Every structure is written in C-alpha cells, then in structure tokens.
Structure 1
Amino acid sequence: MLSMSSSVILRDFINQNKPVILDGGLATQLEAQGFALGGDPLWSARLLHTNPEAIKDAHYRFLLSGSDVVTTATYQASVEGFVQHLGVTCEHARELVMSGVCLAKDTVQKFITDNKTGQTQALVAGSIGPYGAFLHDGSEYTGTYAKEMSVEDLKCWHRPQMECLTAAGADVIAFETIPSIKEGEALVQLLREFPNTEAWLSFSCKDERCISDGSLFSDVVPVALKSPQLVAVGLNCCSPDLVEPILDSAKFLLNPDLRWVVYPNSGEGWDTQKGWLSPEKTTGSLAQYCETWRKQGAAFIGGCCRIGPAQITELRQVLKGSTQ
C-alpha cells in the first residue's frame, strides 16, 4: 500500500493515476451484504463496533471493482456519537474512529497480496462528514445548523475526528457532503492544525449553481483555494446531471494545484422520512457522464449513495479501459 510520507508522494500518485477512481457508496454495499442501516444514527459506522469484517469485505469488493481509493466507514462516526449511542468511553470511541483507517489499510494490503495484477498502490481516504450527519435529521443536505454555530464551534466539533483519522495514518482526508460555506471555512482552518495532512473538500448541492445552503459554488471554491493542503474541491451525493453545470460555473477558478473531485449518487430522489423514493434500487450509471467530468478537470471520480462495485467497474472501464 502507498505510504503517504509527504505531499509530494500523494500528488505524484494523483498525477500518475488521473483520474483517480474512487469507490462507491459503502453503506450501499453493506446493505447489499445484508445489513439494515436505515434509521440508525450511526449508519454504517455502527459496524466498526459490531462487525468490522463486514466493512473489510465491502472495501475489498470496491478494490476488486477497480477503485484506486477506499473510503473509511467514518462518515457518520464521531467520538460524541459513539459515546452517546454505544455507551462507550471517550477513549474507546476514539479507538473506534481510528479503526476505520486500520480496517481499510488492512484490506488494501490483503488485496494487493491476493491479486497479482501489478497494482501496488491504493489510497485510504479518512471520511469526515458534516455536523449534520451526527444530528441525523437530514440537515447535512441543508446546512441550517450552521446558522446557529460559529466557525470555532464547527472546528471544535470536527477536531476529535480529525485527530483520530490522522493519527491512524489516513493517506488523505475526505471532507464529504459539506452543505455550507461556513462549515467549509471551518474545515479549511482546522486542516491548518495538521500541517502534514492533505484533504479534499466536497460539498452537497441543491441545483446547478449552488451548494446546499444556497451559496454559489463559485463562491465556495475560493475558500478551498486558501489552503495549499487541499488537493481537490468538488461535490458528492448529488444527482449526476448537476455535476457538469456546477463545475462549469466555477471553471475560471480551476488551477494546476487544485483539482475537481466528483462522486455523485445514482440520481434517485431522497426523502428524510421515507428514504429513497424509488420502490426498488435502480442501477446508477456514471459512465455516460464521467468522460465529460474528466475533460472538465476532474482528477478524482467515483460514486456515492446507491452506487455499487458494478458501477465503479463500468466507470473505470470507460476512463481507463480496464478494472486494474
């Protein structure tokens, strides 16, 4: 597995593998493996405590599908959340967050050992979701909570998770599904406290120009430009058909040191009370869009909710011509 001892190594990996193929929805794959996660305030993070082998199995399936990156099962993990919902100590809660990185690293090493395909590197992205994911009320797609919180409040909330993921050795941090410009600013400031760490910053969006809190995407990209530690900025968990126009709205801001990261969901409707509105899961196809995203400057491309290993295989075949 690739050991990220410096930013040069990470950026070399990106340049040598562009576009870097991300994985898909971890919870989607875990549900395909038979786990009922809906309604759980810890979502897939609960399995860090109850069934870590299932998480490793899911990571392995995405690596088999051609992912260059596996993302930890920590999107909805937090020290406070584990203490509240599992009844564990703060120390144990920190160990659980760190275990997400260890499970992913172990899986990458096993995959490389098992499969003599020539692949010798894969990244582990430490997932940090928005504060709204902890609230478990759908506000991760609105960012309304940020109106009542300061930048310092948000930094304090995210700091324990950041400490755990960096201490465990995540290759890169994935700030995911961030709904507000204020929370994006908080994460950029927090990243400075970890000078040897790099990250990408990915927002949720509401339409073809705006992120979820109504801020223009072209106004949030400059927040990312403040940090030389950010290797990419973009969006995730939105409909695939929103990606091209929202990236186009900020194309004048793209530069060689900052790239786009995109990993939308399947495009199906979501209701915070009812869940996915399609009666049955449909196949999310990113392959019809991904070449356009690459031409727009996307260096990281993958999928989010309702995107499984089969769709990542298809994505890789379009962009790179093979699964490995």
Structure 2
Amino acid sequence: MSTYILDGGLSTQLEAQGVDLSLHPTLWTAGLLSSSAGRAQLSRAHQAYVAAGCDVILSASYQTSPSLDPVSAGFSLSLALAARDAAGGGGPKALPGPRAFASLGPWGATQADGSEYTGKYPAEATEEFLLSFHRERLALLLGSCALPPDGLAFETVPSLPELSAILQLLAGDPLAAWVTFSSPDGAHLCDGTPFSAAFALCAASFAADEERYLGLNCVHPSCVAPFLDVLLPLARAAPGAIRGVAVYPNNGGTWNAGARKWEDAEEGEGFGALAREWRDRVLAEGLDFVVGGCCSTDAAHIRRLKQSLS
C-alpha cells in the first residue's frame, strides 16, 4: 500500500502565475492551449507541481470537448507528458518520477453553468448522449497525441447516468483510471444517488487486474471523512474491486458560476492534518491512497500537503 501525491488546481496555479482565466470563460485552462504564450504558462504550472513533489500530474483537458480542434487537444496531453519526462517519470507507478494522467471532466463542465456541482442536466443529456460525448472526447485527446497518458482521470462526476456512461467507456481499457465524484455531503452524488449504489455499479464493472480508483474531487474537505465511512466498508466487503482511493478536495469555498470564481475559500495551511487521517484509514484497508488538491489549491498548498504526509 502506497501514498501518492497528486497536483492541485491547475487554474489556481495559473492565476498565481498571473494568468487571467476570465479571458477563457468556456474552455477555462484549456483556453490557453491555442497560443504559444498560453502553452508556456501551462508548462510552467505543470513544472511547479512536479517541483512541489507530485507523483501524478493532470493534463489541461478538463473542459475540452469533442469540438476542440485536434492540435489544441493534443497539446493538453503533450505538455503534461513533457513535464513528466523532464522529471524522469512515466510507466508503471513503481518507477521514480511522476505519472501524467489525462484530466476528463464531466459533460457539465463543458457547459460553464456549474452543473458539474449539481447534476442537474437537461433531458437531452441521456446516458447514451453522455457515452457519445465521453467517447468522442477521449478519442480526440488520445488520437491527437503521439504518446498515451499514464492513466485517465474522470473527474467531478455528478450523476449516476454519467457514471454508467463512463464505466461503459472504461470497460477493458488497459490504462490506469479513476472516477472521482462531486458531492454535497460525502455520502451522495450531486444528483442524490447514494455512494453505495455508485460503488456497486463500479464493482460490477471493474476487473480485478485493472488499476482502478474511486474518490472525490472539488468537494469541501469535510466531505472526505463521510465518504470514507461509506466507501471503505464496501471495499472491504468486495476485495479487489478497486486498487485505491483518490481524494483531492478544494480548499473550502463555493463556486459562483455566474461570476466564474471561487468564493470564501479558506486560508492557512489547508487540509494536511486531515489528510493524514484519511491516509491512515485508507492504507489500513490495504488500498493505495492518492491525495492532492483541486480548485483554490496551488503548488504551495501541495508542497505543504506533501510535507504534512512525510
């Protein structure tokens, strides 16, 4: 059983570097992919997280959609892979250096309306529609980059239909992968589905020899302990269903979709002390633990998190 440090919010690190992301209200960080200056800032952000001690970094593809041009889509993976390679990473996780995962946000993230935090999708966003979206977007990303990522990160999944679509796409895929959910309380997806039902769907889909993780991202840190209260007994009752747990909360606060900003984020040392408790609970179950930060966390937060867990 091992602990792996994930990076923090790519947007937050970019803002710390002086980037004005309000210029890209729909594509957000992916909006930087179309210019050499933007790509240079993304590379700098990836490098900052590697320097902070990350074992896994995520590509700038969270809000990409099938409509993004292939050249820009390819840059999202190639920039993360270049940062990984410069640090001597890649390949099986036993090797030194970081791994680079493709960040794959939910359909709601491409709508720029905050629906990834509510699960309130329009009627036309059926499971079949969502499967088509995720399949086309993944094909675009993988097909536009010469090398594959080390894994896939399906993030901020707010609803059971979207989870079902993702699991169909993941079936039999040899790449490492995780699914992390958005949640209002740590016990339910944003659409009200109990995590027990989500776990049952995942356990029925994942194969024992696959590297699969379940977790939370972009939630308040207080949601993680209730999530572990639900997940760990279920994982204990279904040994081998998952390889580990991935959690990367925000630093507190609420996303204001209209103003396109995080409000009331907490200051100070972040959630390092809580992360030690989460780690100990997960490792005690014989599972790997991936921990990092999401929105309102930057490389400085991740450096402190790593020090807290050392």
Q: What is the aligned-residue RMSD (CA, Å)?
A: 2.0
> Which stretches of structure 1, 4 residues or longer, exceed 3 Å deviation after superposition?
164-168
Whole-angstrom distance in 2 between the partners of 1:206 and 1:177:
12
In the alignment, does 2:258 pair up with 1:273? yes
Instruction: State whether residues 186 and 223 of structure 2, in contact with CA within 8 Å, keep that contact through their aligned partners in structure 1.
Output: yes
Provide structure 1 residue ranges, at least 5 long, that are not aligned to the other structure. Answer: 1-14, 83-92, 114-118
Aligned to 1:58: 45
Aligned to 2:177: 199
Whole-angstrom distance in 1 between the partners of 2:273 and 2:150:
30
Instruction: State whether residues 100 and 149 of structure 2, in contact with CA within 8 Å, keep that contact through their aligned partners in structure 1.
Output: yes
Higher deviation after alignment, 291-300 or 39-48: 291-300
Instruction: State whether residues 201 and 230 of structure 1, in contact with CA within 8 Å, keep that contact through their aligned partners in structure 2.
Output: no
Aligned to 1:261: 246
Aligned to 1:79: 66
Aligned to 2:299: 309
1:151-230 matches, within 5 Å, as 151-167=127-143, 168=145, 169-192=148-171, 195-225=173-203, 226-228=205-207, 229=210
Shift of 1:284: 5.8
Whole-angstrom distance in 1 between the partners of 2:176 and 2:106:
18
Which residue identity does 1:129 align to in structure 2?
G
Per the alignment, in what secondary structure is the counterpart of residue 249 of structure 1? helix
Whole-angstrom distance in 2 between the partners of 1:99 and 1:276:
27
1:223-262 matches, within 5 Å, as 223-225=201-203, 226-228=205-207, 229=210, 231-254=212-235, 255-258=239-242, 259-262=244-247
- Residues matched between the structures, number: 286
Shift of 1:239: 0.4
Higher deviation after alignment, 177-186 or 35-44: 35-44
Instruction: State whether residues 206 and 214 of structure 1, in contact with CA within 8 Å, keep that contact through their aligned partners in structure 2.
Output: no
Whole-angstrom distance in 2 between the partners of 1:42 and 1:121:
29
Provide Cα deviations, 1:124-143, integer angstroms capped at 9, x if missing partner: 01011000111111111111
Per the alignment, in what secondary structure is the counterpart of residue 96 of structure 2? coil
- TM-score, reference length from structure 1: 0.83
Shift of 1:257: 4.5
Aligned to 1:27: 11
Whole-angstrom distance in 2 between the partners of 1:78 and 1:46:
12
Per the alignment, in what secondary structure is the counterpart of residue 299 of structure 1? strand
Per the alignment, in what secondary structure is the counterpart of residue 306 of structure 2? helix
- TM-score, reference length from structure 2: 0.86
Shift of 1:205: 0.2
Aligned to 2:271: 286
- Taking a change above 3 Å as real, the CA distance of residues 165 and 293 of structure 1, as seen in their structure-2 partners, is farther
Residue of structure 2 aligned with 1:108, choices 84, 92, 99? 84
- Taking a change above 3 Å as real, the CA distance of residues 284 and 150 of structure 1, as seen in their structure-2 partners, is farther
